[in-house]
Amino acid sequence: MRILLAEDDTLLGDGLRAGLRQLGLQVDWVRDGAAAERELRAEPYAAAVLDLGLPQLDGLEVLARIRAAGVQLPVLVLTARDAVPDRIRGLDQGADDYVVKPVDLHELAARLRALVRRAHGQPQERLQVQDLVLDPAARSVQRAGQPVSLATREFDLLQLLMLSAGRVLSREQLEQQLYAWGSEVESNTIEVHIHHLRKKLGPGLIQTVRGVGYLLSRDPLP
């Protein structure tokens, strides 16, 4: 899952980015409101963590502008402003969650996972498609009750496909969600990961839609 972090405090931002990456999230970090608005308008992030006290453009203004522009990704406001009126303003401007600093990294990651699940119509903690079960918090996968060992990128790719089960995702869409800024991506990287997933999960799950992309079928093939 690729997340945008907008935080102007260098020490905090560096710690949040490193910690969230260790918990399996891909994090791009910007340090001012203008950059946050630009990236949120241009890039297909799964969610955003937005500080309110940003330079150049206040976080609430960023939130108002992207919502007015039709950007619908989940936004978690992370701020030192803990007064009730501030929380109300943030939620009324379009925030999906509101967390007061300091925050536990595991809680922050859990809240982000929950926001992304709900945005994809998946309210349950574990994702299930056919006999495949994925636990984002434990980063574990089972098929037909048997554990399946996946590499980090394979797990992340499978999670994206399960969140969008029944919908075709292009290679470009998958790359954009799997890799943060500065990552080197070979032209056949997604195809290689798909190949490995099929070998480990067995047939009948991941389908190729020629010339379009890949989908995880909600129903078994006839």
pLDDT band at 185; cut points 50, 70, 90 = low
Query: What are the pLDDT digits (tens) for 21-77?
Result: 888 888 999 999 999 999 999 888 999 999 988 999 988 899 999 999 999 899 999
Please report the sign of the dihedral spanned by the C-alpha atoms of residue 86, residue 59, residue 112, residue 95.
Answer: positive
Check whether 183 has a pLDDT greater than 70. no
**Mean pLDDT of the 91-96 span:** 83
DSSP state of 183: -
Decide: 214 and 194 in contact? Cβ < 8 Å: yes
pLDDT tens for each residue of 133-159: 999 888 899 998 999 999 988 998 999
In this structure, are residues 37 and 126 in contact, taking their beta carbons and an 8 Å threshold? no
| Residue with more model confidence, 119 or 76 | 76
Number of helices and strands in the chain (H, E): 8, 11
d(CA 76, CA 111): 8
- Taking only the tens place, the pLDDT of each residue in 191-220 is 999 999 999 998 778 998 888 999 998 776
CATH code for the part of the protein at 127-216: 1.10.10.10
Taking a C-beta distance cutoff of 8 angstroms, is the pair 158, 196 a contact?
A: no
pLDDT of residue 222 exceeding 60, the answer is: no
Task: Report residue 214 as tokens.
Answer: 């890949």
Q: What are phi and psi of 51, to 5 degrees?
A: -75, 150
Residue 171 has pLDDT above 70, yes or no: yes
Specify the pLDDT at position 80. 82
Domain boundaries, the chain: 2-119, 127-216
Distance (Å, rounded) from C-alpha 130 to C-alpha 70? 33
Q: Residue 195 has what pLDDT?
A: 92
142-170 burial, b at 16+ Cβ within 10 Å, e below that, comes to ebeeeebebeebbbbbbbbbbbbbeeebe
d(CA 55, CA 174): 32
pLDDT the model gives residue 210: 87
Which helix (H) or strand (E) covers residue 108, if one does?
A: helix 105-119
For 2-119, which CATH class?
alpha beta
